[in-house]
Amino acid sequence: MGLARGILQRSHDRDNADNHPSYQPEQHNNLNQEDLNRSKSSQNDEEEPSSKYDLIKEEEEEEEEIYLVKQQRGYLAILFSITQVIILIAMMIECKIAPMQINPMVGPYPDALSYWGGKNAYFILNEEEWWRLITPIFLHAGIFHLMGNVSVQLDTGAFFEREWGSFVWLIIYLSSALGGSVLSTIVIPNTVGVGSSGAVCGLFGGKLAEALCRCCESTKTQQAKISRNVLKKHTCGSILSVIVIGLFSFVPYVDWAAHLGGLLGGLSVGLMIFACRIKTLFFRLVWFLLGAFITVVGFSVSITYMIEEKKDEVAAELADVCGYYMQHFENYECNCMLDRHQE
């Protein structure tokens, strides 16, 4: 813009010279009207390129405001969301929609949540159905529950995947799901838990880990400055989202312990992943070792404690979820767990 301002300034000086006779050379007094017209036309010709230059320069500056990401779409976020929608529809078709007094989330009867793979501590610890530590992320208590999680997953979650890449996103997502289910089994073992919100909280934990690892990085280049601004924005957004999710963690059939476990799992695994991107060797080692220590100790201690200490605390009623809910709700229908209920 320096050249453009110089051209405009010279044009402005000439205009001042025309408007203030004291600055005009004497020979200009003898100019006829034709000469004056030619002079003004020449000034207009000089001003026009400057305006064009300003426009081009502004367009170039706007084009520089580009934040580079690893991929164009959040493919896994979209795939997981579609899968979760299909599964909820199938659950509601097979197991029917429960009345609002039973399931205020507008979804299937609660026994369907266990039958389709929800977190049921009895089956995890007594029947060794370990896959139930991961499958709850594909299930939701109802339409409202699904809409809340999928909207965040397709917006913020998909953007994180575009930033990090699908592989890193998947590692953090699944690690968070595992951490959420383990903590939920420890803290509230006598409930059936479902939902991808634990894994989504883990994505926010991963973003917080990225912010910690990148807090001292250089911002000398324009792209580095843009990246830092985007990081600040999404870090604040992640903190706010965690608070909001925490406020909604105590509605029926939503597992607050899974939210906390997912957040901690995503944070610890994220420290290891994003530490590898730090350029300074010392800080890279510090953050990586811290993340590795928290991850290894946290998961190993939690899983060991869950297996050895919580098995006897699990209510036997969870073996027959239909029977449990039939005792608490009148006209309860068991449409999915008929085989287990009959046994």
Sign of CA dihedral 167, 202, 313, 104: negative
Q: Exposure string (b/e) for 260-277, b if CB count within 10 Å is 16 or more?
A: bbbbbbbbbbbbbbbbee
Contact 160, 284 (CB under 8 A): no
- Burial zone of 101 (CB within 10 Å; 0-12 exposed, 13-18 middle, 19+ buried): exposed
Token pair belonging to 95? 């197991």
Task: Locate all alpha helices (DSSP H) within the chain, ordered by sequence.
Answer: 2-19, 33-64, 75-95, 110-115, 121-125, 143-152, 158-164, 166-187, 197-213, 222-247, 256-275, 281-309, 321-328, 338-342
| Ramachandran area for residue 128 (φ above 0: left; ψ -120 to 50: alpha; else beta) | left
DSSP string, 98-160: PPTTT-TTS-B-HHHHHHTT-B-HHHHHTS--GGGGTGGGG--SSHHHHHHHHHHIIIIIHHH
Sign of CA dihedral 13, 17, 18, 19: positive
For the beta carbon of residue 223, count every other beta carbon within 10 angstroms: 14
Choose, from 238, 259, 268, 302, the residue flagged as catalytic.
259
Is 328 known to be catalytic? Answer: no
Contact 160, 217 (CB under 8 A): no
Choose, from 197, 238, 241, 268, the residue flagged as catalytic.
197
Is 197 known to be catalytic? Answer: yes
Contact 110, 295 (CB under 8 A): no
Give the residue numbers marked as catalytic. 197, 259
